[in-house]
A and B are shown apart, each in its own frame.
Chain A
Amino acid sequence: TQLLEQSPQFLSIQEGENLTVYCNSSSVFSSLQWYRQEPGEGPVLLVTVVTGGEVKKLKRLTFQFGDARKDSSLHITAAQPGDTGLYLCAAQGTYKYIFGTGTRLKVLA
């Protein structure tokens, strides 16, 4: 069974702090996606990483795909209240997308 474990599960930080969210698996994936979900809405794609070791930046968000394509991280620099939400990693399994356990981030003003 392919699983994606995320850590931490919950994170509450002050505005301006930095944070890192991790997504780990024992399986190798050809690509991995990060989504953000706000209350009452569906997950929205942030980024896709494809190549082992790849780093992608999206404003204050930095995404990295592990060299072995089994894990990924999301780093947020100088977090803002607008970053609050549920962050999900996901990867294509056989005939389905597998989602991580999620990291619920709250950024306090």
Chain B
Amino acid sequence: ETGVTQSPTHLIKTRGQQVTLRCSSQSGHNTVSWYQQALGQGPQFIFQYYREEENGRGNFPPRFSGLQFPNYSSELNVNALELDDSALYLCASSLDAAGANVLTFGAGSRLTVL
């Protein structure tokens, strides 16, 4: 059974650029959630995808968008990057979208915006 894998692990962008982060969910999991974790903070919920549809969204602007594919892998896209977007981006998969299901996190993608 494979866990949650994310790519790239590290990347550096400049303000105004766009970035795409990728996530492969754990085998058997159909739900993917994305979190942003700034330095010294807890993870903040960005959005969740269930069966290729957005199934909930946190307090993030529309320039944060996502996709989920038929194999349940997912992408997080961020347009018009800002310095405050520098953070660890965590993908987590779960067996279902129901709230009580446990999330399994990937290792994260660390984004630095200069």
Q: State whether these chains interact.
A: no
